[in-house]
Structure 1
Amino acid sequence: MHEEPILRVRNLNKRFGRGCPQCHDQTIRQLEKNYCSTCGTVYACQDVSLNLFPGEILGIVGESGSGKSTMMQCLYFDEPVTSGEAYIANRDLTGQNVFNLSQQKKRYIRNHRYGMVYQNPVNGLKMNFSSIGNIAEKLIAAGNRNVSSMEATGNKLLEQVQIPLFRSKEEPQNFSGGMQQRVQIAKALSNNPPILFLDEVTTGLDLSVQANVLDLIKEIQREWGISMIVVSHDLAVIRMLADRTMVMLNGSVIEEGLTDQILEDPQHAYTQRLVYSLL
């Protein structure tokens, strides 16, 4: 790929805890997995770097506690980073490390450049708002004030994610898990973002429902050409969706490459165990 990345992340670090002389210095740091037994600090992300290219799906795979969801929360500004840089290819943001921007500018990015679909729909939806009201909320945050245009956008998106329009005024709390995820996807797409984050979106869903949600994601990616980062502990999900894959363990990236290459010829012992457990 010779084109410029739409998102560049360099040396993202996120720790929970103050750290101590034993763990502050990376050159001498001795951790149990990603945990300092001296002071109890957890190093959730350690020097994570990535490029996301236009129209690409990047898969991030790793076991629970590997740091992949924390990384996602940092990118979406749900969590502040400890250190690191991230740059978005956008005329207004050229050369600006988005982690250092004001809260107002971060809100602008969340409302105009990013979409997010959480593992638990409760984090992405207001469960007691109507489905179309959830979409309108995101559009209003992005500056839309025209009720009829918001309604038209909401109906179009709900149709696209296969929510029957006669249920558009219903609250997501009345819906099944798979339908809640589809409403969340519609809400995330409402501001036409160039970058979409998907965090464990099929966890806890029945297999047939998982397949429907994954098909929907593929279809949206084909139709909209959105760049996506998909986090999952399930290699089958990554195999179906991702062009390239990064493998995380204990907060660090241990292997990355084209998804086919990672699945057919894994280099790291941990990735080999992951792949062989799938076969």
Structure 2
Amino acid sequence: MNKFEYPVLSIRNLNKQFGPGCNHCQNQKESTLIKNYCPVCGTVYACQDISFDLYPGEILGIVGESGSGKSTLMRCLYFDQEVTSGEAILSTYEHGERNLFQESPQRKRYIRNHLMGKVYQNPLLGLKMDFTSIGNIAEKLISAGSRSVEEMEARGRELLEYVNIPAFRMKEAPKNFSGGMQQRVQIAKALSNRPPILLLDEVTTGLDLSVQASVLDLIKYLQREMNISMVVVSHDLGVIRMLADRSMVMLDGKVIEQGLTDQILEDPQSPYTQQLVHSLL
């Protein structure tokens, strides 16, 4: 059987709006919005009818300018924000028969702690800066029910070694680390429970080029060695080109193009994607 036959995650018609909507924008959304904003009631349609599948061991790239909705999408996938409507099916949860977005807060917490990991653009959101690095990993393991200090310490050491944090710095707080090291600690923490899915939101933004390259190498290594499925968001098409098997291009809260990354780069269909590709050349 082809490993790409069954998706590990399926998202259907995900919508997220900020604001109540009004007759003006709800009935004739296309013609009345300025980008994805209603000038009458002020509602922002941050994500509009987004659907995609993520397959085992695949990296799906999501690219788009600031305000295109890609980070809102990631927040919805990790339950940092409630969706307005839509469906998310995870093959490793309840035999793929439940809509994750309709689960109780307790079940969502379980899914976050056991079945997903997230690496935030801002390490302050993903790490406790005053804890030790190994303590950050232990925190995630405790949330998932671990109680053995020895096991947690062993797992923490193994992961920090894996992401190239030297042993003598494992009990140091991330606030003393460089941006690249903080991102690597976040990745180690996100991997602690061996989740089938990793969400990476703009993880190389603001890093020096050499540091950026080492973080990207680590992500490719994780894909190869651990066969984790990943969703990688970036405004940088160069990052997506290096990492992603397939890609989606977002603009004003909508997916305007999706397909194999090579295909999108070589033969972009929408004017916006053509502009993006052109800026990369």
- Cα shift readout 1:175-222 (whole Å, capped 9, x = no counterpart): 000000000000000010000000000000001100000000000111
Q: Distance in 2 between matches of 1:205 and 1:168?
A: 21
Give, in angstroms, the shift of residue 93 of structure 1.
4.8
Q: Report the equivalent of 1:4.
A: 6
What amino acid is the match of 1:52? L
Q: Report the equivalent of 2:141.
A: 139
Q: How does 1:54-93 map to 2 (within 5 A)?
A: 54-90=56-92, 92-93=94-95
- CA RMSD after TM alignment: 1.0
Identify which of 183, 186, 199 aligns with 2:185: 183
CA contact (8 A) 1:22 1:28 kept: no
Q: Report the equivalent of 1:96.
A: 98
CA contact (8 A) 1:22 1:29 kept: no
Q: Percent identity?
A: 71
Matched, 1:199 2:163: no
Q: Distance in 2 between matches of 1:74 and 1:194?
A: 18
Q: Report the equivalent of 1:173.
A: 175
Q: How does 1:99-178 map to 2 (within 5 A)?
A: 99-178=101-180
TM-score w.r.t. length of structure 2: 0.97
Identify which of 20, 23, 27 aligns with 2:22: 20
Give, in angstroms, the shift of residue 18 of structure 1.
1.1
Q: Please list every run of at least 4 consecutive aligned residues from structure 1 whose deviation after the TM superposition is greater than 3 angstroms.
A: 26-29
What amino acid is the match of 2:9? L
Q: Distance in 2 between matches of 1:78 and 1:28?
A: 28
Secondary structure class of the residue paired with 1:201: coil
Which runs of no fewer than 5 residues in structure 1 stay unpaired? none
Secondary structure class of the residue paired with 1:229: strand
Which runs of no fewer than 5 residues in structure 2 stay unpaired? none
Give, in angstroms, the shift of residue 95 of structure 1.
1.3
What amino acid is the match of 1:16? F
Alpha-carbon spacing, 1:93–1:17, altered in 2? closer, same or farther (3 Å) = farther
Moved more, 88-97 or 148-157: 88-97
- Cα shift readout 1:90-117 (whole Å, capped 9, x = no counterpart): 2525311000000000000000000000
Alpha-carbon spacing, 1:60–1:91, altered in 2? closer, same or farther (3 Å) = closer
Identify which of 250, 275, 278 aligns with 2:277: 275
